């Protein structure tokens, strides 16, 4: 957590990664909170690139090979969390590695996850799904 003027907030770097079919990469959290964008908290002293490189390696066994200069979106969630969402590229991997926090991962159409009841979009992505839908329109 970072502290500023008496309030605490967590800043996370998240990745927008698309495949050749213009689907977005999502990770499924072990706690069954649904599918969210890959990435996580930026540690003190880390750059956004370093944070995403670490998180993508931990979550997916993936190597970050490219990152946009500025975030595509900034999401404020519940007054305590800030997500900086960057377009990113990873080295091609044949199979995603499961981790302690991540049950699985894959490329999905945003509408497909919106319509899934039991394990659709996670809370943060569901709150901001219009940004994801707009992004996918531009990526197609």
Structural domain boundaries of the chain? 2-139
Q: Tell me the whole-structure pTM to 2 decimals.
A: 0.88
**Dihedral class, residue 108 (left if φ above 0, else alpha if ψ from -120 to 50, else beta):** beta
Pick the CATH number of 2-139 from 1.10.1060.10, 1.25.40.80, 3.20.20.140, 3.90.79.10: 3.90.79.10
- Write out pLDDT tens, residues 12-31: 999 999 999 999 999 998 77
Q: Which of 73, 75, 103 is nearest to 88 (CA)?
A: 73
Strands 73-77 and 2-4: unpaired
pLDDT at 5: 58
- Write out pLDDT tens, residues 58-115: 888 899 999 999 999 999 998 888 999 999 999 988 777 677 778 889 999 999 999 9
């Amino acid at each position: 957590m970072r502290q500023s003027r008496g309030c605490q907030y967590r800043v996370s770097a998240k990745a927008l990664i698309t495949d050749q079919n213009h689907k977005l990469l999502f990770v499924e959290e072990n706690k069954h909170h649904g599918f969210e964008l890959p990435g996580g908290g930026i540690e003190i002293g880390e750059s956004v690139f370093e944070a995403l490189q670490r998180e993508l390696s931990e979550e997916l066994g993936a190597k970050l090979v490219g990152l946009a200069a500025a975030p595509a979106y900034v999401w404020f969630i519940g007054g305590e969390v800030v997500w900086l969402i960057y377009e990113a590229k990873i080295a091609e991997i044949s199979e995603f590695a499961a981790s302690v926090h991540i049950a699985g991962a894959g490329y999905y159409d945003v509408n497909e996850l919106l319509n899934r009841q039991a394990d659709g979009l996670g809370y943060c992505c569901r709150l901001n799904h219009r940004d994801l839908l707009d992004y996918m329109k531009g990526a197609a």
